[in-house]
Amino acid sequence: MTEDFAHEGFKWAVFKTTPSNRSVDIPYKKDANFFSVIDGFLVLLHVEIVITKGINLEFENTDHNPLCTKLVLK
């Protein structure tokens, strides 16, 4: 994700160290698929991002890993 994708007044909540997406041209294989970070939350500036974390489930049921965030209204 690029910072310039968000409109003025918004910010991104992402977790860059856990892949959120995998390629689907082959079945999941730990070191064979292409992995990327494409998922995140687009948040208004008046919302505080406390923490965002990617959860590595090894793409058990889908081509995405879950992403969780804790937000606080300012």
pLDDT of residue 2: 57
Q: Say yes or no to pLDDT of 5 above 70.
A: no
- pTM metric for this prediction: 0.79
pLDDT of residue 48: 97
Average pLDDT, rounded, for the chain: 92
If pLDDT is split at 50, 70 and 90, which confidence band does 6 have?
low
Q: What is the mean pLDDT of residues 35-46?
A: 94
Find the largest Cα–Cα distance for the chain. Answer: 44
pLDDT of residue 74: 87
Per-domain boundaries in the chain:
3-73
